Amino acid sequence: MSKKYASWIEENRQRLIDISNRIWEFAEVGFQEFKSTNLLIKTLKEEGFSVEKNVAGMPTAFYASYGNKKPVIAILGEYDALPGLSQIAEPIKKPLKEGAPGHGCGHNLLGTGSLGAVLAVKNAIIAGDADGTIRYYGCPAEEKFNSKGYMIKAGAFKDVDITLTWHPAFMNALTDVSLLAINYVKFRFHGRTAHAAFDPQNGRSALDAVELMNIGVNYMREHMIPEARIHYVITNGGKAPNVVPDEAEVYYFIRAPERHSVENLYKRVIKIAEGAALMTETKKEIDFLGGTYNPLRNDVIGAVILSKMKKVGSPKFDEKDREFAEKLKKTLPPGSMDAFTSLIPPNFQKMAQQIFSQPLNTIIIPGIGKGKIMPASSDVSDVSRVTPLGEFATTCHIMGSPQHSWQNVCTSGMSIGHKGMLTAAKILAVSAIEFMSNLELVDRAKLEFEEATKDSPYKSPFPEGFKPPVAKKQEEINS
């Protein structure tokens, strides 16, 4: 039965590739994915899905449902691009449009692969081969804001039984590794302007406050857990050297393995900002943009996904794909695999050598990195805190290609990415059908989830009344 719906995706491959390519060409940044969203919604409506738009006040957030029974199986989709990564689908660095965004994380593939899966499951429900509700979640702005957290707070996931998701990568693997929780926040200081040479005594420099804050945070690094990460960029440092800046801003990411550690570090950073304001006789303003949790991995769902990965198999790359990958591989920086080799357990080293030697990975890898932390963050983590969730990756990029790179934009717009996307769609579809056909698995996954969360219920990282920074994003686009 599952094979039948994997075949449906194969029969509709060109339709899905065309949708993916259009989203790749749109390349819209977070909260601006209007063309991408409209294309996905139009397709889902044509297929008979009911659509809920403007979820949590975000114009490019939506969910689409087919069916009206339990269990409710959610499949996550993303479609935002990254600024400044425009790139042609060729193995040479050349922007499609200078300075424009590009899909350096492959979200054109992610959103479309998930779309293909829910359409296949819909056909299984119609045929009587599955019973339940299949739901597509259109999640904007993953690269910069926790849109899924806003959707959770609005109650969009309250009736979901199982959530499935995937991500383009350079290997085919069950995702077992943890990620870092994060807060992202801007600190803005307000001082008093003056001529920096003629009457500096009358000035109170907001830039001084920013620099003193950064110095304080850098001294704090000695006294925080080694797994934590804090990084910043000065987004406004004044306009001219001879004018004391009356306004300055610094943008911080604060990460740690657990949500409570992030919150503790954040409180300490705020104290440093207060100290900087006192020293410079300026006023501080905190612009909290959002935060995410670290993920919970569900072993029951993971086992189902891994079994389906083995049945579906890996993407079938041809000689042209391999030649393309070899050319692109020559452009990678040295040490591009270093962040991943640390996740490989000792008993996995032999297979790892075989995997890493391939420019295009075709081996199905059981979950690696369990109990370890990858120093990155994702708002998928918040969904894993409110519903049992399983995640995997398929090969859509060449081995060692850095995330958020022009190399990833390149393969996301051609056959290597397309083949990984179609493979992911099949795995998602047959996994969803398995849960709809075997309610005992649903119960076991929920029981594991309840046990894991009983002492740590989800608490939104957003303050009460906090709204998505959609208007702020629009201001950035227009400025």
Look at residue 46 and tell me whether its pLDDT is greater than 80: yes
Count of structural domains within the chain? 2
Choose among 169, 171, 167, 175: nearest CA to 362.
171
Residues 235 and 131: their CA atoms lie apart, in Å, by: 51
Question: What is residue 242's predicted lDDT score, i.e. its pLDDT?
Answer: 95
Regarding whether 98 and 56 lie in a shared domain, the answer is yes
Question: What is residue 402's predicted lDDT score, i.e. its pLDDT?
Answer: 86
The H-or-E segment that residue 434 falls in is helix 415-437
Q: What is the average per-residue pLDDT within 37-42?
A: 98
Does residue 329 sit within a domain? yes
Choose among 174, 185, 135, 170: nearest CA to 383.
135
Range of the domain at 377: 2-179+294-453
Sheet holding 283-292, edge to edge: 229-236, 247-256, 181-190, 283-292
Choose among 252, 257, 316, 255: nearest CA to 284.
252
The percentage of residues in the chain with a pLDDT greater than 70, rounded to a whole number, is 93
Domain boundary among 265, 292, 319: 292
Regarding whether 277 and 130 lie in a shared domain, the answer is no
Look at residue 471 and tell me whether its pLDDT is greater than 80: no
Q: What is the average per-residue pLDDT within 216-232?
A: 96
Does residue 469 sit within a domain? no
What token pair was written down for 409? 């934009």
Look at residue 476 and tell me whether its pLDDT is greater than 80: no
Does residue 304 sit within a domain? yes
CATH code for the domain of 201:
3.30.70.360
Does residue 313 sit within a domain? yes
Regarding whether 424 and 356 lie in a shared domain, the answer is yes
DSSP-derived secondary structure letter, 101: -
Helix, strand, or coil (residue 135): strand
Regarding whether 69 and 35 lie in a shared domain, the answer is yes
CATH code for the domain of 92:
3.40.630.10
pLDDT digit string, tens, across residues 175-216? 998 999 999 999 999 999 999 999 999 999 999 999 999 999
Q: Output helix, strand, coil percentages for the chain, rounded to the nearest 5.
A: 45, 20, 35
Regarding whether 152 and 58 lie in a shared domain, the answer is yes
Does residue 72 sit within a domain? yes
Band of residue 89 on the pLDDT scale cut at 50, 70, 90? very high
Regarding whether 44 and 132 lie in a shared domain, the answer is yes
Does residue 476 sit within a domain? no
pLDDT digit string, tens, across residues 286-310? 999 889 999 999 999 999 999 999 9
Regarding whether 231 and 156 lie in a shared domain, the answer is no
Look at residue 478 and tell me whether its pLDDT is greater than 60: no
Regarding whether 91 and 150 lie in a shared domain, the answer is yes
pLDDT digit string, tens, across residues 342-380? 666 666 666 667 777 788 999 898 877 777 788 888 899
Does residue 479 sit within a domain? no
Look at residue 3 and tell me whether its pLDDT is greater than 80: no
pLDDT digit string, tens, across residues 128-145? 999 999 999 999 999 878
Top-confidence residue, 94 or 338:
94
Regarding whether 205 and 339 lie in a shared domain, the answer is no
Regarding whether 59 and 19 lie in a shared domain, the answer is yes
Question: What is residue 424's predicted lDDT score, i.e. its pLDDT?
Answer: 98
Question: What is residue 2's predicted lDDT score, i.e. its pLDDT?
Answer: 64
Helix, strand, or coil (residue 166): strand
Contacts of 98 (CB under 8 A, 6+ apart): 86
pLDDT digit string, tens, across residues 373-422? 888 888 999 999 999 999 999 999 999 898 899 999 999 999 999 999 99
Regarding whether 363 and 273 lie in a shared domain, the answer is no
Query: Maximum distance among all alpha carbons in the chain?
Result: 82
Band of residue 340 on the pLDDT scale cut at 50, 70, 90? low
Does residue 474 sit within a domain? no
Top-confidence residue, 463 or 15:
15
Domain boundary among 292, 312, 345: 292
Query: Position of tokens 């992030």?
Result: 262
Regarding whether 49 and 105 lie in a shared domain, the answer is yes
Taking each helix axis as running N to C, give the angle between helix 415-437 and helix 319-329, from 0 to 180 degrees, rounded to the nearest 10: 110
- How far from 271 is each of 18, 190, 221, 278, 425, CA to CA, in Å? 51, 17, 14, 11, 47
